[in-house]
Amino acid sequence: MKLGMFLQPATKPDRPLSEAIDWNLDVIRHADACGFAEVWIGQHITSPWEPLPAPQQIIARAIGETSHIKLGTGVEVLYQSHPVRLATELAQLDHMAEGRLLFGFGGGGTPTDAQLYGVDFASGQHQEMSREALDIILSCWQENGPSDYNGKYWSVNAPAYNDRYYWHVKPYAPPEPRIGFAGFMPKSGSLTLAGERGYIPLSFNVAPEHVGVHWDVVDQSAKRAGRTADRAGWRHIREIYVADTAKDARDAVLNGFAAEFWDTYFQVIVERLDIAHLFRRASAPTDTPVNSQFLVDNGTWFVGDPDQVVEQIVEQHTLSGGFGVLLQMGFDYADPGAREGWMRSMELLSTEVMPRVNMALGPSKFRSA
């Protein structure tokens, strides 16, 4: 099993954007130094709790400040940009990264982001637009570039090329093995698309007993398309905090920004969508609010000393049927006193926890992607 990070990025809403950018770049540099395999950077416009609208710019900066870590858009929301523009921007970024770029796409985002673009979630318009956009992007990455396309939402008019003007903007290396789609809801359209086309599926942070629903979507979609889904490419995104003692880990989470982010912001979204049950472990009481303390106490979040977190990761691997990459969810621990603990958590996860996880799993076709 490989280790990576997912940066929504969860951020204090009153933190200046410049400071949020600096903190997340610090985390990316530290992940590279700790041996993390990859990091994905989110895109949101209207939420100050998830404040970065342009992940490509963060990646462009990080390319020159890291050496080996893969850098992914997590995700580019496909209805927000004309697909030809997005295809060429990402192709150029891939050349800058010399093939280290991961192409994360999605069709969701926040309802307020969609409203800005006049996109209707209720009708499924965002999913239709995303499928059209992806087809155009893929055509842009072919040898001769895009042909004429007249869809419901997007159109492309292919020019009459000659020996001076012709299509030339393609990724540094074949992009298909590096395309990913992230999903959260049980019947995610993005995970359906990942299964159909053989892309990387990224599963957000539901309880270990429920994340298997995501794989069912991927697997069934793959079978309908005549494909065999590969668990080695499946990414699991999980809140994880490791400290030298269980008490230190618990205090850092429940008295830190991870709890504030969930209790003040994300729990409201979960309750509005009526999906709190997805965050309850099988043995958890059904009448308790799904707040941060509940998530820590019931093991939905992996919080503890190295021994405890090893056990939790191995259990998730078993309950889910196996996956290839674990992505630690990033949080804003930029303030003095909190910063050191977060960086230490990353170090412990990389150097003490993951080697023992892989030893416990033994030889497995799901150990790497």
Which of the 8 DSSP states describes residue 80? G
Tokens of 85: 């523009």
Residue 142 lies in a domain: yes
User: Please, which residues have CB within 8 angstroms of residue 274's CB and are 6 or more apart in sequence?
Assistant: none
Residue 294 domain-assigned (yes or no) = no
366 found inside a domain = no
pLDDT at 366 over 80: no
d(CA 269, CA 262): 9
In a domain, residue 61? The reply is yes
In a domain, 285, yes or no: no
Does the pTM surpass 0.75? The reply is: yes
Structure tokens at 156: 């492309």
Report the C-alpha dihedral over residues 267, 286, 209, 255, rounded to 10 degrees. Answer: 40
CA distances for 231 relative to 208, 234, 246, angstroms: 15, 5, 31
What is the residue-averaged pLDDT of the chain? 95
CATH number at residue 153: 3.20.20.30
Supply the pLDDT for residue 285.
Answer: 86
pLDDT for res 94:
98
* Domain around 67: 2-259+299-361
CA gap 251, 263 in Å, rounded: 15
Q: Given a cut of 80, is residue 158 above it in pLDDT?
A: yes
Number of domains observed in the structure of the chain: 1
**Residue-wise pLDDT tens digits, 81-111:** 999 999 999 999 999 999 999 999 998 888 8
Q: Is residue 145 part of a domain?
A: yes
Confidence band of 23 (pLDDT split at 50, 70, 90): very high
Decide if 293 is inside a domain: no
pLDDT tens, residue by residue, 179-212: 999 998 888 889 999 999 999 999 999 999 999 9
Q: What pLDDT does residue 364 have? A: 65
For residue 264, being part of any structural domain is answered with no
